[in-house]
A and B are shown apart, each in its own frame.
Chain A
Amino acid sequence: MGYASTIKVPFGPQHPAFKEPEYFLFEVEGDLVVNVTPRIGYAHKGIEKAFEQRNYNENIYLAERICGICSHAHATCYTQAIEEMLGIQIPPRARYIRTIIAELERLHSHSLWVGIAAHEVGYDTLFMYTWRDREVVMELLEALTGGRVTHAMNTIGGVRRDISADIIPKVKSGLDYFEKRTKEYLGILKTEPTFLKRTEGVGILKPEDAVGLCAVGPTLRASGIKNDVRADDPYAAYDEVPFNVVTLDGCDVLSRTLARGEEMLESIGIIRNALDHMPTGELRVRVPKVVPPAEVFSRVEAPRGELIHYAKSNGTAKPERYKVRSPTLANIPALCKTLLGVHLADIPIILAGIDPCFACMDRMVFVDTKANKKWDLTMDQLKQGVNK
């Protein structure tokens, strides 16, 4: 290229392109990225250590608060891990309810993401529309669980609330509306020239790189690799509810967008099917308080991809070790690869392309809003939150 020098452009930890604090150092020649160095951990609060300080029941709440978007995915991954160590099977109805909430969560997460992707390429009209329609899903989640963000549906041994027959028509009509809108937005995304210009062929992740760099979720599937924990390693009721694993072979930001769009339609199908075929019966089984010494490897397909929990018990009321690996961390090496050689102006949409969730990745502990509603918490106040 013949540029005399490489210029370093820092992104973050506070940056308009990020919704959360993280740091990427870009080295650019002209406006082409030649190197990128990620530095994560700005929201690291030592949640794995915190797991070791709490008993198994308290840890349900901790797990659910690892992430504010895929809270149900973490809680499912946690509870199924402990259930496996206890050697218990949850009732069939509970498996279906977990599946329904998980797919509603995927709908709200993916539609949130489509809005952000639209915003990153300057298409704020679509951002407004998708976020308006996402409210339909949020309201359904609230009606079903009592909470928009943390649903507290999971408990060790099953679920805490039923989905009663009288609410099912409301869920179905909400889904009908959401499906209609999603199809319309998918049509727009496939044909709108300004959106295509910003996403088609941008941020290429070749299939061999996606595999070698261990990418997960829609990021992996948009590079043509058909891996989905729900299909490959079924949990909850995914072995009984039919659905397609969406793959696309564009390997670019456009494919990552459309993959999520198509996945939303699949999720709607899963929810409808699960509502129609939900077995009757108990919601939960009683479980012993003490977990025998064991170890377990638990995984679920969170909206962003494969989520991993590893638990080791020692026969006491608290775990010996609890490990969490969120999908965003798995996608960072692939993200850094896709950023090489791109134009500076394309960085925000490519970064957004993996649907990064930094708090989840860094495993931030929640803050007790009852104790202090302010955001500018001191370190001590934060620690008190951790202590509880």
Chain B
Amino acid sequence: MDMGETEERLHRFLKEKVIEFKVPRERRIFVRIKKESFREVVEYLVNTLAFRHLSTITGVDLGKEIELLYHLAHNGAIELSLGLSIPKDNTCISTITDLIPGAVLYEREVHDLFGVKFEGHPDLSPLLLPEGWPQGVYPLRKEHSLDELRELMSKKWG
């Protein structure tokens, strides 16, 4: 499946589910979709279009929302970044570990650093942050400045 065919099939499938669709260059696609369609779109990408490799998941703080970007690869070559936004006051999203087992640590990382709860994930215990890290402090969110995080760490661990 080449770029042209991938784009065409995506357009045909996504229709009203899509918010933004851009192709910045060869082998790169950015798709932003509505949160409600997330599972449906991921299942289509993984099972039908064979985007089986998850390169990673990026969290981005948009202010009132957290954006999640799932970087999926087809055949090692075409990298599709699937984006969706979830509100900060309800940061729940379905896990994709049932579709791509390799997502297990990437979801935990985003959970640690952005406070996104992946429903159905087998174990969301801390992965990167130290034991005793205060609840509700998600260091990669913009509301926590570097100074604040430093103060927190020096208070706790000297």
Name the distance in Å between B12's Cβ and chain A's nearest Cβ. 24
Name the distance in Å between B109's Cβ and chain A's nearest Cβ. 8
Residue in chain A with minimal CB distance to B144 = A49
Contact, CB under 8 Å: B129 / A330: no
Residue in chain A with minimal CB distance to B128 = A41
Number of interface residues of A (CB under 8 A): 44
Which one of B24, B54, B103 has the highest number of Cβ atoms from chain A below 10 Å of its Cβ? B24
Contact, CB under 8 Å: A44 / B129: yes
Name the distance in Å between A74's Cβ and chain B's nearest Cβ. 15
Which of chain A's residues have a CB closer than 8 A to the CB of B100?
A: 212, 214
Name the contact of B130 in the complex, choosing from A41, A50, A212, A213 (C-beta under 8 A): A41
Name the distance in Å between B43's Cβ and chain A's nearest Cβ. 15
In whole angstroms, how far apart are the Cα atoms of A310 and B71 in the complex?
Answer: 10
Residue in chain B with minimal CB distance to A50 = B146
Which of chain B's residues have a CB closer than 8 A to the CB of A386?
A: 146
Q: Mark A323-356, 1 if CB is under 8 A from B, else 0.
A: 1010001101110000000000000000000000
Give the interface SS of chain A, mostly helix, strand, loop or mixed. mixed
Contact, CB under 8 Å: A41 / B127: yes
Among B34-42, B55-63, B87-95, which stretch is in contact with chain A?
Answer: B55-63
Residue in chain B with minimal CB distance to A310 = B58
Q: Does A196 contact B (CB under 8 A)?
A: no
Which of chain B's residues have a CB closer than 8 A to the CB of A232?
A: 75-77
Q: Residues of B at under 8 Å CB distance from A?
A: 24-25, 27-28, 30, 52-56, 58, 60-61, 69, 71, 75-77, 79, 81, 100-106, 109, 113, 126-130, 139-140, 146, 149-150, 153-154, 157-158
Known: A41-B130, A214-B100, A214-B101; 17 extra A-B contacts, CB below 8 A, are A40-B127, A44-B128, A49-B146, A50-B146, A212-B102, A226-B76, A232-B75, A233-B77, A233-B79, A297-B71, A297-B79, A299-B55, A308-B55, A329-B106, A330-B55, A332-B105, A383-B150
10 residue pairs from A and B, CB less than 8 Å apart:
A44-B128, A212-B101, A214-B55, A232-B75, A297-B30, A310-B69, A310-B81, A321-B60, A329-B106, A333-B104
